[in-house]
């Protein structure tokens, strides 16, 4: 199954592309360790930021991802994956390095511009590339491979969280100094990983794999253009599912460190270590749930993800035991990662792979919307009085309500199908 051929000629080992994608995603996935940095910005005398202001750079970063992914997705469909991924990795790293020049609360604007605007744009620019590229190389393992394609992103905080905490502990009054070595490391990782990217050659096939005669789109090879996808209700339903699932998971991710200390009594160091461990579940969820979706179906998978996130978030504020808190948080992270592992394959099923970069890149507006909604809602409801029960119960209830969307979202009819057929497919 791993033997690949193009017009009768043996091509490069496609698993090398997976390794490059993982390295790139590990670099840009460091963004999920923000709660370590944010907590330090709240406590450092030179900063002393409120909870809302400390979470804002992360919120801006996630908000910018959509712009980067939309532009990057369109460009990689036209220019190829390598140049777009390299550019995204450089822009992301430059933003991180800019943030390292902040010296206190007076430089808050630079933190927003560097870490938030610039690195967020570069992150989105790079993130979309391996997702679209690897689906073309692995038509036989679409769900699993998209999980792997974004799995490294979830694992990024596993590396970054403990390293960032160690760097901050060296100079607690200047937490942004940690961005200098982190930015340089990200730059090297991104450049090495993206350097191997390329699309499969014309006539590429996977030996032993016979594409199904019928696809979810109603006719094999019926690839939608971006404009055609946007004229279907399914694109908006999938984007809504992505938005609400992201909102649920990221509400905890943005507050993970302080939630662990305030609710379950973790030490500061222990909470930082927990953030790193939880990132393993974020990464694993992208692979595990994507594989599950290949077996039980995409919408059933999203239903399970939303239910588990909702229940665990509602229970989380009452988990005073460190073990129980860790288990509930791990499930939320696992499901959050699963959203990103499953959605690219779902979009591919619905709209085809030819324009996957542009279609899914635009769909990632749900990531940005959810990335703003979740942290802002959580930080505002938690507030200075630490109202974790109100915050997480509200977010959990939203996730449970979103399950309804999974029952009404069906694959669209093939392009050119009669209007009656299209209506029936909704």
Closest of 271, 302, 256 to residue 410, by C-alpha? 302
392's tokens: 């997480």
**Under 8 Å CB-to-CB from 332, ≥6 apart: which residues?**
248, 249, 252, 308, 309, 312, 313, 316
Question: What is the C-alpha to C-alpha distance for residues 40 and 258, in angstroms, rounded to an integer?
Answer: 10
Task: Quote the percentage of the chain above a pLDDT of 90.
Answer: 42
**Under 8 Å CB-to-CB from 114, ≥6 apart: which residues?**
95, 96, 97, 98, 99, 101, 102
Handedness of CA 334, 339, 340, 341 (dihedral sign): positive
Q: What is the pLDDT of residue 187?
A: 96
C-beta neighbour count of 268 within 10 angstroms: 18
* Residue 313 confidence (pLDDT) above 80: yes
- When pLDDT is averaged across residues 189-214 and rounded to a whole number, the result is 80
pLDDT in tens, 314-341: 999 999 899 999 999 999 999 999 998 8
The average confidence (pLDDT) of the chain is 85
Please give the radius of gyration of the chain, using alpha carbons only, rounded to the nearest integer.
21
pLDDT in tens, 62-106: 889 888 988 888 888 788 899 999 999 999 999 999 999 998 888
- Cα 216 vs. chain centroid, distance in angstroms? 24
The residue written with tokens 């970054």 in the block is 160
- When pLDDT is averaged across residues 237-255 and rounded to a whole number, the result is 93
Check residues 24 and 128 and name the one with the higher pLDDT.
Answer: 24
pLDDT in tens, 295-310: 899 999 999 999 999 9
Handedness of CA 259, 262, 266, 271 (dihedral sign): positive
Sketch the domain layout of the chain as residue ranges.
15-198+226-425
> What pTM was computed for the model?
0.75
pLDDT in tens, 248-289: 999 998 888 889 999 999 988 888 788 878 888 988 898 899
Top mean pLDDT of 32-46, 201-215, 239-253, 407-421 is at 239-253
Q: What is the pLDDT of residue 48?
A: 83
Range 15-198+226-425 has CATH code 1.20.1250.20: yes
Assign 146 a pLDDT band (cuts: 50, 70, 90): confident
Assign 212 a pLDDT band (cuts: 50, 70, 90): low
Range in 223-232, 303-312, 392-401 the model is least confident about: 223-232
Question: What is the C-alpha to C-alpha distance for residues 361 and 193, in angstroms, rounded to an integer?
Answer: 20
pLDDT in tens, 110-142: 999 999 999 999 999 998 888 888 888 887 777
* Residue 364 confidence (pLDDT) above 50: yes
Q: Please list the helix, strand and coil fractions of the chain in percent, rounded to the nearest 5, in that order.
A: 80, 0, 20
Phi, psi angles (nearest 5°) of residue 9: -110, 135
Q: What is the pLDDT of residue 416?
A: 52
Q: What is the pLDDT of residue 49?
A: 86
Check residues 65 and 246 and name the one with the higher pLDDT.
Answer: 246
Q: What is the pLDDT of residue 1?
A: 42
């Amino acid at each position: 199954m791993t033997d690949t051929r193009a017009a009768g000629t043996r091509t490069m080992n496609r698993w090398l592309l997976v390794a490059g994608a993982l390295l790139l995603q590990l670099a840009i996935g460091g963004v999920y360790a923000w709660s370590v940095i944010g907590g330090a910005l709240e406590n450092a005398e030179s900063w002393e930021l409120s909870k809302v202001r400390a979470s804002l750079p992360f919120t801006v970063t996630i908000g910018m991802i959509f712009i980067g992914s939309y532009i990057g997705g369109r460009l990689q469909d036209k220019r190829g994956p390598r140049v777009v991924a390299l550019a995204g990795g450089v822009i992301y790293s430059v933003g991180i390095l800019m943030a390292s020049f902040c010296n206190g609360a007076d430089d808050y604007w630079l933190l927003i511009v560097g870490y938030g605007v610039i690195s967020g744009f570069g992150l989105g620019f790079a993130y979309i590339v391996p997702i679209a590229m690897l689906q073309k190389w692995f038509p036989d393992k679409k769900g699993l491979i998209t999980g792997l394609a974004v799995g490294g992103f979830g694992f990024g905080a596993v590396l970054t969280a403990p390293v960032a905490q160690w760097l901050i502990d060296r100079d607690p009054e200047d937490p942004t100094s940690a961005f200098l070595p982190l930015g340089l490391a990200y730059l090297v990782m991104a450049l090495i990983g993206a350097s191997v990217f390329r699309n499969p050659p014309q006539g590429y096939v996977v030996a032993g794999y016979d594409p199904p005669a019928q696809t979810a789109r109603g006719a094999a090879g019926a690839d939608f253009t971006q404009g055609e996808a946007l004229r279907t209700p399914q694109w908006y339903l999938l984007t809504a599912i992505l938005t609400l699932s992201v909102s649920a998971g990221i509400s905890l991710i943005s507050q993970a460190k302080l939630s662990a200390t305030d609710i379950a009594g973790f030490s500061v160091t222990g909470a930082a270590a927990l953030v790193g461990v939880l990132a393993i579940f974020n990464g694993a969820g992208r692979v595990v749930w994507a594989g599950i979706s290949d077996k039980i179906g995409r919408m059933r998978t999203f239903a399970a993800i939303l239910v588990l996130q909702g229940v665990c978030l509602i229970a989380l504020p009452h988990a005073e035991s460190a073990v129980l808190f860790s288990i509930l948080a791990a499930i939320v992270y696992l499901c959050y990662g699963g959203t990103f592992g499953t959605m690219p394959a779902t979009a591919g099923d619905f709209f085809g792979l030819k324009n996957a970069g542009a279609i899914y890149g635009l769909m990632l507006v749900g990531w940005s919307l959810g990335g703003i909604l979740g942290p802002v809602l959580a930080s505002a409801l938690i507030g200075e009085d630490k109202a974790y029960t109100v915050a997480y119960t509200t977010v959990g209830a939203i996730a449970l309500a979103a399950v309804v969307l999974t029952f009404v979202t069906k694959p669209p009819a093939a392009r050119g199908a009669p209007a009656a057929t299209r209506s029936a497919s909704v």
